[in-house]
Amino acid sequence: MIIQCPACATRYVVPDTAIGVEGRTVRCAKCRHSWFQDGPELELTQPAEPEAHAPAAEPPAPAPRADLVGTSSAPEPASPPPPAAARTAPIERVEIPPPPVARRRSDEDDASHFDHGPPFRPRRNWLKIMTWAGAIFAAVALGTIAVVSYYGVPDWVPVERPTFGVADPDLQLDFPPDLQERRTLPNGTEYFGASGTITNIGTSTRDVPSILIVLRDSRDRIVYSSEVAPPQRTLAPGETVAVNEAVTDIPRSAREVQFGWKPE
């Protein structure tokens, strides 16, 4: 059968079996237009008519006689040439797409593409992460402050610490230089004797902290320190207590002595 594209009028020759009786969708190979092509019409076969009895053959005409002058059999007229075949548009082959292949339904068809599962990973909640990080940092900072406040800064921390504690304005230390004694004992040991007083010049009883004796070298570096406990821990207003302390094995490089309260 011959079909024609309704868009570009291109004609194609296709077998009847390719279209089928019910018709199908075809596509033009030239303009890519698709349309539904009806199937070929069925031709009803009619019963053959009985052949009519052929009439009796007529006797052949007598041959012309030679004695009849001027008579001859007339030639039969030539039959006209058949008309030229009508020119038609070029016929091309049509591209018939293959029928769709039925695909079996699987569990993947029912699964949602937005469900959580490999290879997808849950999104990170940065707000929640930052909140937790801030809470942990605050807890560590508060714990560090509490430990330092209670125990003080560790010795291994490289920070500058005060040599002496804060002085109480009502407690007065008095260690005159002429009362300080340094000498070398007969066995070669360096001996240092410190003498002084602590006076409460205030109007209320005060707690007396420990005293710190510090020795420095010529470069003002601390070469020796010693803690001295006071003779009594409290002083009444106007009360004075004497302090006498002797230390040995001090460095020979010690050149200067300082007295103060031990830092807390």
Q: What digits encode the pLDDT tens for the residues 70-118?
A: 334 444 445 555 554 444 445 555 566 666 666 666 555 555 555 555 5
The per-residue pLDDT for 146 is 85
Low-confidence winner among 9-18, 117-126, 164-173, 190-199 (lowest mean pLDDT): 117-126
Share of residues in the chain with pLDDT > 70 (%): 66
Low-confidence winner among 35-44, 70-79, 223-232 (lowest mean pLDDT): 70-79
Share of residues in the chain with pLDDT > 90 (%): 33
DSSP alpha helices (H): ranges in 117-236? 126-151
* CA neighbor of 258 nearest in space, from 221, 204, 203: 221
The per-residue pLDDT for 161 is 73
Q: Quote the Cα angle for 39-41-42, to 5°.
A: 120
As given in the structure block, the two tokens for residue 49 are 């008519």
The mean pLDDT of 161-183, rounded to a whole number, is 89
DSSP string, 80-91: PPPPPPPP-PPE
What CA–CA distance (Å, rounded) separates 172 from 176? 13
Q: How far is CA 215 from CA 181, 183, 194, 224, 244, in A?
A: 13, 14, 12, 5, 17
Q: Is the pLDDT of residue 53 over 70?
A: no
